[in-house]
Amino acid sequence: MTGGKLQSFGGEWTEQKLGMLDEYLAAYAKVMMNQRFERLYIDAFAGTGYREVASAEPDFGFFAPELAEDEPQKFFDGSASIALRVQPAFHRYLFIERSPKRFAELLKLKGKFPDLADRMEFIQQDANCVLQNLCAGWNSKTMRGVLFLDPSGMQVEWATLEAVARTQAIDVWILFPLGIGVNRLLPRNGRIPDGWRTRLDRVLPGNWYDAFYRQARIEGLFEAEPQTVKTGSLNSIAEYYQEQLRTIFPAVAENPRVLINSRRVPLFLLCFAAGNPSPKAKGAALRIAQHILREGRSWA
């Protein structure tokens, strides 16, 4: 693996999200293996294929620059490598990554998993664009998919989720930027700059402003004009997003996981939505996802 920092995302919460993805893919592969469908794994924010974590090991108790320079980095599987290790393998893998530098790293997955190389497709573009095109041409009679949406912020457009839901054939894990994005763009006084509003509109459907703000008179100032007050807590923002997901997907896991950083600040909400409306398929997908979200394992 090359040196240099290509990406180093998060700590414990990163392991949680990848652990849950891994478990879901393993269960999905088993449930689907005897069905006639072509199975596709789609990683829309694929990164490099691995994640780099600074090793905690070298603690020499004194300053040793010659050692510090060589401080080892540990490389763990990112979502793309995790998916490639799942057995039985998917029939096709689609990896999307916008950054040219990360994309160049990602391409190396072909060499690392040579047996699966001819099943992999790589696209260096905006994920929303690629997904909306892919879903428009999706053949739900023959294809089933799992989609992992792991953005670093406010990149997943609602229109993309609508396109995914219309296929009725794709299960999706979504990292909703609850604390890292949405809540930060909702100031207490309700005066949201136009640029922020545009970003929020792309990610959140419906009349979110009325859901998160109300007019109230300040106590003791009965003559005063009502003021705009923020009522949208992290909980209510999360519930609003879940409700919106329920309007387009046949089933949505009831227990999304809040991913927090080491300072206990909520960053993302990890949500799951099942694509197939058949009671059997959505029931099975939901049972597996809810179990994973509830239980957690050693990585939780």
Chain positions contacting ligand SAM, by CB under 6 A:
7, 9, 18, 45-47, 51, 78-79, 96-99, 102, 126-127, 150-152, 155
**Angle formed at CA 239 by CA 178 and CA 253, multiple of 5 degrees:** 95
Closest separation in Å from C-beta 27 to ligand SAM: 19
CB of 117 to ligand SAM, least distance (A): 19
For ligand SAM, give the closer residue by CB, 47 or 145: 47
To ligand SAM, the closest distance from the beta carbon of 113 in angstroms equals 15
Q: Residue 11 or 226: which CB sits closer to ligand SAM? A: 11
Sequence-separated (6 or more) residues with CB below 8 Å from residue 72? 55, 57, 58
DSSP state of 41: E
Closer residue to ligand SAM (CB): 51 or 257: 51
Distance CA 191, CA 157 (A): 23
How near is the Cβ of 46 to ligand SAM at its closest, in Å?
Answer: 6
Q: In terms of CB distance, is 152 or 168 closer to ligand SAM?
A: 152
Q: How far is the CB of 124 from ligand SAM (least distance, A)?
A: 8
In the bound state with ligand SAM, the residue whose beta carbon lies nearer, of 145 and 232, is: 145
Q: With contact defined as beta carbons under 8 Å apart, do 91 and 119 qualify?
A: yes
Query: What DSSP designation does 144 have?
Result: E
> How far apart, in whole angstroms, are the C-alpha atoms of residue 44 and residue 95?
6
Element (H, E) at 117: none
Q: How far is CA 296 from the centre of its chain?
A: 17
Closest residue to ligand SAM: CB criterion: 78
